[in-house]
Structure 1
Amino acid sequence: MELRHLRYFVAVADSLSFTAAAERLGVSQPPLSQQIRDLEAELGTALLWRTSRSVALTPAGTAFLVRARRILAEVEEASGEARAVGAGRTGTLDLGLTGSILAGPLGRLIRCFGERYPDVLVRLHEMPPGEQPAALHAHRTDLCFLRRPPDDPTLRVVRAWPEAVGVALPAGHPLADRAAIALGDLSGEPFVSLRLRDSRFATYLREACLAAGFAPRIMQQVVESASLVNLVAAGLGVALVPDSIGALKRPDIAYRPLAGPAPVADVCALYRAPAGAVTENFLGLLRDELGGPSGGSAAP
């Protein structure tokens, strides 16, 4: 028994006419009649009473019609669901990120994605940058956002959005009078930093200081960028932080841009290849809203 047998039978049962059913199905009448006879032979019972002038359902045909309609409806529903999943219009999207990433445009992107794809469930997984590649490989996440991608040729990396690095200073700090601060001017300052063993971004910032001619005197290390400003406000040091963190205005913090050549805090999207349809749709939204990415490349 095939689905066409059910469709042909339902068409005849609905119209009680082989001629009308054949026209509705776009087939000729003799093959339609043969398909119904084949179905009855397989079932071992008559589904239709036929005369030269009329067609009627037998009791078996009446009972079979209910089930046939239900089966066809379920097949159509399953087909629609498969098409929606294949197109990325439904499903789940698991995002790995640090809390500080949400201070940038990602929150707005998630809201826009929800409006465009309301049947996709977006789940956020806050985790240190060092754990994000493993989460991708274990299929716990579909897409991760971090500032310094790992050296992993099995993953794809695209720049999600650019971001500058500035300096967070305690309010009243002598350097706060400047409109911009050169990195070398911080050589004598105590620093608070992201934890070097967890963060490639923290290591990158330390290397930028070394390139500027000094080794930063790191007094405290934390896991999250948002925690840095609390340490700065407590007077424990200065911090190099992304613009999105510096934009969180606080009266006890002075945030100043870096002058001259300076490190950057560009955010990258990291994912497995090939990406699923839901992930591709999110990357497409990222491109539409922020002008990037245009495509994936191997991690550097």
Structure 2
Amino acid sequence: MELRHLRYFVAVAEELSFTAAAGRLGISQPPLSQQIKDLEDELGTALFERTSRRVELTAAGAGLLEQARAILIQAEQAALQTRAIGSGQVGLINIGTTGSVLLGSLAELIAAFGERHPGVVVRIHEMGPLEQQTALLNHRIDISFIRRPRHEPNLITELAWHENVGVVLPEAHPLARYRQLPLSALKDQNLVFLRLSDSRFARYLQDCCIEAGFMPRISHEVVESYSLTSLVAAGLGVALVPESVKRLSRPGVLYRPLKSPTPIADVEMMYRPDRSEVVERLVRLARNVLNPVA
């Protein structure tokens, strides 16, 4: 039984005339009659009582009519849903990121995307950088926003937005009186740092310190950038952080930008080459909203 058979059957059942049904369907009457006969042969029962003067539904035909209408409605809904998913109007997108990246422009991007595509469900998954790349390759997430990602030839990487690195220090710290600091000013300071074993971004910051003439004196390590401010507030040291972390308001803690050459905390977006139309729409929006100059 094909959908074509059901459409033809419903037309005849509603018109109770093969001639009128053929006109409604835009076909000639003989093929229509043959299709109805084929359907009856397949089902093993008559669907219509035909006389020279009228066409009426049999009991079996009346029983099929309600189900045929429901099937055709479901088929049309499925077609509409499929086209909407294929065009990126509806669907699901899984985003991998870290909490500190959400402090930046990602939250605004997700909000803007939701306004433009209300039919798309967005799920955020907080996970470490290496876990994000593995999840992308395993199709557990669709796109990742990450700092200093490891090169992966099977993934596409491009700039999402630019961000500088600054320093967070206690309000009473001697360096707090300066509006801007050179990185070398942190030479003799205890630093609370991202965990070097987990973060390529942390290792990059360590290299920046070495280039500035000193090995950072790391007192404590954490997983997330926003956790650093808590340690700074407790007086355990100063911290190098992405500038978006300054959005975290915490009493007794100040943010100061670094003088040039300034370490960068750029956020990259990573996705698979076989991305869906939904992901492609998010990528295009990110290019236009977050990094319009690129």
Q: Residue in 1 aligned with 2:179?
A: 179
Q: Residue in 1 aligned with 2:197?
A: 197
Q: What CA distance in whole angstroms lies between the structure 1 residues aligned with 2:44 and 2:248?
A: 76
Tell me if structure 1 keeps the 8 A contact 2:132–2:144.
Answer: yes
Q: Residue in 2 aligned with 1:234?
A: 234
Unpaired segments ≥5 residues, structure 2: none
Q: Residue in 1 aligned with 2:33?
A: 33
Q: What CA distance in whole angstroms lies between the structure 1 residues aligned with 2:62 and 2:293?
A: 57
Q: What CA distance in whole angstroms lies between the structure 1 residues aligned with 2:28 and 2:267?
A: 62
Q: Residue in 1 aligned with 2:276?
A: 276
Q: RMSD of aligned C-alpha atoms?
A: 1.9
Tell me the TM-score normalized by structure 2. Answer: 0.93
- Alignment size in residue pairs: 294
Q: Residue in 2 aligned with 1:77?
A: 77
Write out the 4+ residue segments of structure 1 that deviate beyond 6 Å after TM superposition: none
Task: Choose 147-156 or 130-139, whichever is displaced more.
Answer: 130-139
Q: Residue in 2 aligned with 1:56?
A: 56
Q: What CA distance in whole angstroms lies between the structure 1 residues aligned with 2:26 and 2:218?
A: 78
Using the TM superposition, give the Cα deviation of residue 249 of structure 1 relative to its aligned residue in structure 2, in angstroms.
3.1
The amino acid across from 1:191 in the alignment is L
Q: What CA distance in whole angstroms lies between the structure 2 residues aligned with 1:26 and 1:178?
A: 82
SS in 2 for 1:169: strand
Q: Residue in 1 aligned with 2:289?
A: 289
SS in 2 for 1:34: helix
Using the TM superposition, give the Cα deviation of residue 292 of structure 1 relative to its aligned residue in structure 2, in angstroms.
5.4
Using the TM superposition, give the Cα deviation of residue 67 of structure 1 relative to its aligned residue in structure 2, in angstroms.
2.0
Using the TM superposition, give the Cα deviation of residue 163 of structure 1 relative to its aligned residue in structure 2, in angstroms.
0.9
Q: What CA distance in whole angstroms lies between the structure 2 residues aligned with 1:119 and 1:2?
A: 31
Tell me if structure 1 keeps the 8 A contact 2:48–2:58.
Answer: yes
Tell me the TM-score normalized by structure 1. Answer: 0.91
The amino acid across from 1:127 in the alignment is M
Tell me if structure 1 keeps the 8 A contact 2:159–2:291.
Answer: no
Using the TM superposition, give the Cα deviation of residue 206 of structure 1 relative to its aligned residue in structure 2, in angstroms.
0.9
Mapping for residues 96-111 of structure 1, pairs under 5 Å:
96-111=96-111
Task: Choose 50-59 or 210-219, whichever is displaced more.
Answer: 50-59
Q: Residue in 1 aligned with 2:42?
A: 42
Using the TM superposition, give the Cα deviation of residue 225 of structure 1 relative to its aligned residue in structure 2, in angstroms.
0.6
Asked if 1:137 corresponds to 2:134, the answer is: no
Tell me if structure 1 keeps the 8 A contact 2:47–2:61.
Answer: yes
Task: Choose 231-240 or 189-198, whichever is displaced more.
Answer: 231-240
The amino acid across from 1:147 in the alignment is R
Q: What CA distance in whole angstroms lies between the structure 1 residues aligned with 2:47 and 2:6?
A: 12
The amino acid across from 2:27 in the alignment is V
Measured at CA, do residues 292 and 138 of structure 1 come closer, stay the same or move farther in structure 2, by a change above 3 Å?
farther
Q: What do the CA deviations read for 1:133-181 (whole angstroms, capped 9, x no partner)?
A: 1222232222111111112111111111111111111112222222211
Tell me if structure 2 keeps the 8 A contact 1:168–1:229.
Answer: yes
Measured at CA, do residues 70 and 132 of structure 1 come closer, stay the same or move farther in structure 2, by a change above 3 Å?
same
Q: What CA distance in whole angstroms lies between the structure 1 residues aligned with 2:254 and 2:72?
A: 66
The amino acid across from 2:264 in the alignment is V
Q: Quote the sequence identity (%).
A: 56
The amino acid across from 1:233 in the alignment is A
